[in-house]
Every structure is written in structure tokens, then in C-alpha cells.
Amino acid sequence: MNARPEEIVSLLREEIEGYDNKTRRTEEGTVLEVGDGIATIYGLDRAVYGELVEFDTGVRGMVMDLSRDTVGCVLLGAETGLREGSTVRRTGQPADVPVGEGMLGRVVDALGRPIDGLGPIHTTQRRPIEHEASGVITREPVTVPLQTGILAIDAMVPIGRGQRELLIGDRQTGKTAIAVDTILNQKGQDVICIYVAIGQKASSVARVRDTLQKHGAMDYSIILSATASEPAPLQYIAPYAGAAMGEYFMEQGRDVLIVYDDLSKHAVAYRALSLLLKRSPGREAYPGDVFYLHSRLLERACRLTEEYGGGSMTAIPIIETQAGDVSAYIPTNVISITDGQIYLETDLFFAGQRPAVNVGLSVSRVGGAAQTRAIKRTAGTMRIDLARFRELEIFTQFSSDLDPATQKTLDHGKRLLELLKQPLYQPMPVSRQAVLLYIGTNGLLDEVPAEQVRDFAVQFVDRMEHQYVELMEEIQSTGNLSGVAVETIRAALADYKKEKLPGN
């Protein structure tokens, strides 16, 4: 009997629609070797990179190495009870984390599980931790400022929404403090903040949480913690999990700030995994793909066009240097990926210049386009003035006889540096920054003794905020310093000087 072609097509279509692929997803394998958080598995022929697998003890793992006959898997939990011969089952799903509004105000681990003792997190959606970065067509240029509230940064190395700005410096130079200040300054700005702690001490993470809680910042923040005591696989996936949580809000049209503290420890965790997976070591024993490790993470930060939701994700990665060496392997890698860097110098920090921003080595490659007009107008000459001051300071430190012009430049530079000093956890609004910058860069404080400049300027701005409420609100809302505002500031400062500096 000859079957008609349409009957064959119909039968094939029924077979395809009724095909059950469960056998693929429930494929099982056997553990050949386990130790140091790595399991070598035989039998998972169809496993894919990044897929979750489940062991018979209930612990999960993530596929990270595909060899000819075996699969290398990193354990996302304790290896207690696992031994040679244990069975492993494919899940058919990539490693993912819960996302949604329910995550706000919580402290979670690298898998999104709560560790703050406040009960379960109620979310309905999950998102893969690894996700392809947005393409060129979906991105928009950075034009909206993300105010850090730190005068030295907003004036000279501004950050825009969707930018990737690196914080780099030796240990104990105030990197985390700047990141926390930036998070605190987002209060009322409708920005979701995610702080990812990688390889930090648990006490340090607790301190950050207490600071955010005390200043009311936990309401719009998520802390994702993979402390130094946790296995290398959890430290490795932590920043990707944080990025996944941030992308959820970005695709809803929201603005997100994500801090990776820090990527040096992330690279070290990945190096440990790679060496245990028997990958070839390269420079400083890091694997060959360590550049891709951070590029695929930081490329996920961007500003989307209105057509794709109009949200943004701003990344502030932190890198710890050794003895100020910014030319080491990991620092140079991340510098080349990001849109600028803020370099914190140890010598400045211990000299009392805090935040210890080195103006010469710090740069923002796109933030200037997103700077408010008031700050751009008032801070225009500050970088040049400070650079000139630094140069003259080096040449004149052994000289006692200086000409008046050189002495004036040095005195002006000293007053600018005093003005840039800022206490911890006291971010400034734009209006306050604009007034301080205007009176500083225009030489209106040059007759104030250098050691009194900081207190004098702060008290003057306090008076402006009390006596000229509408003017300060106008500067804050418009981001512009009008001619009327400039005249008012000058007149108010002249009166204040008569009161405070009667001898001048």
C-alpha cells in the first residue's frame, strides 16, 4: 500500500508534537572524583556550560568544564556526603536567582537566599545569572547625571547613569566609603542600589548594612554577600547574580546602581576554580579568559533606549591595588573595560585629604556629558588649577623665595583642597556643591586663612540654605546657576566676610 505524502507529513507532525524530551532533562551521571569544591562527573553527555545539576545529597552544582568524556562541575554548597559513585542529575536549567521588588531591603547570598533572618523572600520570577549584554542598537548615550554627593567626584570625575566607573586604590583608602556615600545620596532619586560584597569579611558587610539601615537607604537597596568564608564558586557567581537582579529593574524602565566590592577578589576566586579544573595558567597564574570574566559582566551595565524601556544600570566596580601599582594585570584589564576610573591615593589619605582622589590619574570618559550645568560651569577650571598646584608644590617644596604669582597659585590650590575635604556619610545635594564650587574656583575664599576655609565655607552654605531657601531649591531643581543666583551668592558672601573676618 502506498501512503500519500500528506499522510506522511501529518504523521511526522504528530510525532514531533508528541515528542517527549524528558529523558534529556533527567539524564543522570556518576561522580568520578570530588574535592576542593569541584566534582568530576561521567555520563552527562548532553550537559551544557552553565547548567545546574543536582547531586543525590540535594546540593546543587554548576557545569563549568566540558571535556571529551567527563564534565567538571563547581559545587554551590557543602560537599558533605558526596563521594565517588554518587549520582548526579541534570536539571536542564541555567543557574538563576530570584528577582523582583521583594528583594529590596534584604541581605541575600549569591543564590538569592535570605541571610538576614527576616524570613523568606516572596518573588515570582527568576532570572539566569549569565545573560548576554544589550546590543549596540538598544543602547543610548549617557546624558543623565548620577550624583554621588561627593564634591571631588561630581566636580572633576562625574558619573552618568549607565556608565561604568572604576574605583581603584590600595586597601584602607576609602573605596567602600565612597560607594556607600553614593548609595546614600540616591535617597529620593528613584534609583535602585545593589551592593555586591565579594570575598569581604562578614563584619564588613554587616557594617555596610548597619550604615544603610541607619540612613534609611535599605528601603531601595539589596545587599548580595559572598563573604571570604564561603566557597570560591559562590564568590565567582556573586557579581553575575547581582547583575541579573539589576537587569530585571533596568528592563522595567528603572535606574539601577550596582557596586562590585571588589573584583580583585572575584578574579582570585575564578583563578582558584580554573586551576582546580586543570585549566592552563597564564600571567600571574590567571587563566587566559580572565579578561572576558569581567568584560561580560561590566558590559551588562548600560542605558537603554526608550523603545527598550529607557532604564539604566550604572556599575561601580572596585579594584584593590598592591602598593599603588595600577599597571598590574587585573587593574589594567578592568581600566580598559570601564569608562573611566577614580584613583584613591594612600599618601593623600594619610595626609588627611579625604576622599583621597588623585586628580591626575582619575578620569571620567563620558560623565562630563551628563554633568549638570551648575557644576560644569563652576568646576570648569578646578582640575587645571589643582594640576598646576601639584606641579608647583613639587618644584617649590625646597624653595623659600617665591614670586607673588607662584605663591598665589599655591595658596589658591591649598584652599581648593581644603574645600574638597568631606566627612563620611554626608553626601551633598547639587545646590550645596554649586555654591561651594563657585566661591572656591572664583577665588572668593583666597583671603580666608587656609586652615579655616573648610569651616568658613560650610557655615556660609548653611546660612544660604536657611536664608535663601527658594534660591537653593531653584539651583537644585534646574541644575543651573543663573545670573541672579551668582549676584545673590556674591552679596551674601561679602556680608558674611564682614561678619566673620572683620580685620580684612
* Other CB atoms within 10 Å distance of the CB of residue 139: 16
DSSP output for 96-162: EEEESGGGTT-EE-TTS-B-SSS-----SEEEES--PPP-STTB----SB---S-HHHHHHS--BTT
> For residues 219 and 209, is the Cβ–Cβ distance under 8 A?
no
* Other CB atoms within 10 Å distance of the CB of residue 122: 10
- The answer to whether the peptide bond before residue 145 is cis (omega within 30 degrees of 0) is no
In the set 139, 207, 365, 390, the catalytic residue is 365
Is 210 exposed, middle or buried (CB count within 10 Å of its CB: 0-12, 13-18, 19+)? exposed
- The answer to whether the peptide bond before residue 262 is cis (omega within 30 degrees of 0) is yes
Q: Residue 118 CA to chain centroid, in angstroms?
A: 26
- For 151-190, b/e burial (b = at least 16 CB within 10 A) is bbbbbbbbbbbbbbbbbbbbeebbbbbbbbbbbbbbbeee
Task: Give the integer Cα–Cα distance in Å for 458 and 471.
Answer: 17
Task: Give the integer Cα–Cα distance in Å for 328 and 100.
Answer: 38
Query: Could you tell me the three cell numbers for 328?
Result: 598590574
Concerning whether 365 is annotated as a catalytic residue, the answer is yes
Q: Which amino acid is at 282?
A: G
Task: Give the integer Cα–Cα distance in Å for 27 and 288.
Answer: 32
Q: What is the length of the chain?
A: 504
The pairing of beta strand 87-94 with beta strand 221-226: unpaired
Q: Residue 341 is inside which H or E element, if any?
A: strand 340-344
Task: Give the integer Cα–Cα distance in Å for 498 and 304.
Answer: 52
Of 436, 300, 303, nearest to 369 (Cα)?
303
Q: Which amino acid is at 375?
A: I
N-term to C-term CA, the chain: 115
- Catalytic residue set: 365
